[in-house]
């Protein structure tokens, strides 16, 4: 296996290609997209053109036929420039595509994977008003009627919803069985009874849409059950374990971007006759930021390598997501401190990265949920 601390030549080329795309095609639009809370169509089209929306999807299904690790590298590279764009790619690859690749039937893979690689955005619809960390408290119901399933309920905080054409929706088809009745359904945007509701006005990652979903006697073909009936809870748990590595990569890239902006400023800003980077107090702050980023990178890469190797990675994913989200928030905050007054203005990117960082401790498992996962893992090994 490739050493965790290094990238192969192909991986480095891939990372550099994505980063070059982000700097050229996304960076000029970041501020406007953030202000408008909208992902520009040209940016989304570019993600498809570069093959970033189906990285692991086999070539015969229209995808890149690459690795989970490369999907993580893409998220990291994009997040250096705009974490909002990176999460679009993250959810598409680590949640939606991965769920289809692992549990989809041949017919489902043939119908959806080529579209997801070329034109369709996907969403993962688990959360509800009363089920966040307690995901299995969901109230959305599914009832079989003839050859169709009828879904009723409301989903909240669904990433990519404004742009998505396909939704992996979790509903309980047998409430008497508790969480064992939860089933995953593939719901197309034009299914009767389905609607995308209001778009949230958010603190950060504003170009990434977050919306509610309304299911009012929503009709879903019987063939659109993903996996087995009553196995939705397993799909949710296992997919989110993989998704947490993606959030770790997003936060890693964000921290790298924040450090880069801080370095540029302290090298140019002069006080008391010299660049402020020459002051020992500033040097020490930068050194600590770099150290924490490197530690986060190793945790994220380790978890991704383990996943690709088919080894257990649950604890490592939780550690990567938790630590990287903390590092991102600290680094973005410190970057603003080092940049002073200009760092506090929207004229420079640091304040946006600071706003974007906060979500890292919340979605795909809060900090406390990650700590619980890590603690349970330790207990099971004792």
Domain 233-381 is found in CATH 1.20.140.10: yes
Per-residue model confidence (pLDDT) at position 339: 95
Per-residue model confidence (pLDDT) at position 132: 78
Per-residue model confidence (pLDDT) at position 5: 64
d(CA 176, CA 225): 19
Per-residue model confidence (pLDDT) at position 158: 98
d(CA 314, CA 307): 9
d(CA 69, CA 19): 16
The superfamily in CATH containing domain 9-120 is: Acyl-CoA dehydrogenase/oxidase, N-terminal domain (1.10.540.10)
Ranges of each domain in the chain: 9-120, 123-230, 233-381
123-230 has the same fold as 9-120: no
Per-residue model confidence (pLDDT) at position 274: 96
Q: Would you give per-residue pLDDT tens digits along the chain (382 residues)?
A: 445 568 999 999 999 999 999 999 999 999 999 999 999 999 999 999 999 999 999 999 999 999 999 999 999 999 999 999 999 999 999 999 999 999 999 999 999 999 999 999 999 999 999 987 887 789 999 999 999 999 999 999 999 999 999 999 999 999 999 999 999 999 999 999 999 999 999 999 999 999 999 999 999 999 999 999 999 999 999 999 999 999 999 999 999 999 999 999 999 999 999 999 999 999 999 999 999 999 999 999 999 999 999 999 999 999 999 999 999 999 999 999 999 998 888 888 999 999 999 999 999 999 999 999 999 999 987 6
Which numeric CATH code is attached to 123-230? 2.40.110.10
Per-residue model confidence (pLDDT) at position 382: 62
Q: What is the DSSP string of 208-237?
A: S-EEEEEEEEEEEEGGGEESSTT-HHHHHH
What is the largest distance, in Å, between two alpha-carbon atoms of the chain? 80
Judge contact between 165 and 188, C-beta under 8 A.
Answer: yes
Residue 354 makes CB contacts below 8 A (sequence gap 6+) with: 258, 329, 332, 333, 335, 336
Helices 68-81, 280-308: crossing angle, 10 deg rounding: 150
The catalytic residues are 364
Does residue 314 sit in helix, strand or coil? helix
The answer, as to whether pTM is greater than 0.75, is yes
Per-residue model confidence (pLDDT) at position 380: 86
Per-residue model confidence (pLDDT) at position 1: 43
């Amino acid at each position: 296996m490739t050493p965790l601390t290094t990238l192969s030549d192909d991986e480095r080329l891939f990372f550099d290609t994505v980063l070059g795309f982000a700097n050229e095609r996304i960076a000029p639009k970041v501020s406007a997209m953030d202000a408008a809370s909208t992902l520009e169509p040209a940016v989304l089209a570019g993600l498809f053109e570069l093959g970033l929306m189906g990285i692991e999807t086999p070539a015969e299904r229209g995808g890149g036929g690459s690795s989970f690790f490369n999907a993580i590298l893409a998220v990291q590279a994009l997040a250096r420039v705009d974490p909002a764009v990176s999460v679009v790619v993250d959810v598409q690859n680590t949640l939606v595509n991965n769920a289809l690749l692992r549990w989809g039937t041949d017919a489902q893979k043939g119908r959806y994977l080529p579209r997801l690689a070329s034109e369709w955005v996907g969403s993962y619809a688990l959360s509800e008003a009363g089920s966040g960390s307690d995901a299995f408290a969901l109230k959305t119901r599914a009832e079989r009627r003839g050859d169709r399933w009828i879904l009723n309920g409301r989903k909240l905080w669904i990433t990519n919803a404004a742009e998505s054409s396909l939704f992996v929706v979790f509903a309980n088809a047998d409430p008497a069985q508790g969480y064992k009745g939860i089933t995953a359904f593939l719901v197309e945007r034009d299914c009767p009874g389905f609607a995308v509701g209001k778009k949230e006005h958010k603190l950060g990652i504003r170009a990434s849409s977050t919306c509610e979903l309304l299911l009012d006697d929503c009709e879903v073909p019987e063939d659109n059950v993903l996996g087995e009936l009553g196995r939705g809870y397993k799909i949710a748990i296992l997919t989110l374990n993989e998704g947490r590595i993606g959030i770790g990569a997003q936060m890693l890239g964000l921290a790298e971007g924040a450090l880069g902006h801080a370095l540029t400023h302290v090298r140019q800003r002069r006080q008391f006759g010299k660049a402020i980077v020459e002051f020992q107090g500033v040097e020490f702050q930068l050194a600590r930021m770099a150290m924490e980023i490197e530690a986060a990178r190793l945790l994220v890469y380790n978890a991704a390598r383990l996943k690709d190797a088919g080894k257990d990675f649950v604890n490592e994913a939780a550690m990567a997501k938790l630590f990287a989200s903390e590092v991102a928030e600290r680094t973005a905050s410190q970057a603003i401190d080092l940049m002073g007054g200009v760092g506090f203005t929207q004229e420079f990117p640091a304040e946006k990265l600071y706003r974007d960082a906060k979500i890292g401790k919340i979605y795909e498992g809060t900090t406390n949920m990650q700590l619980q996962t890590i603690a349970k893992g330790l207990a099971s090994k004792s």
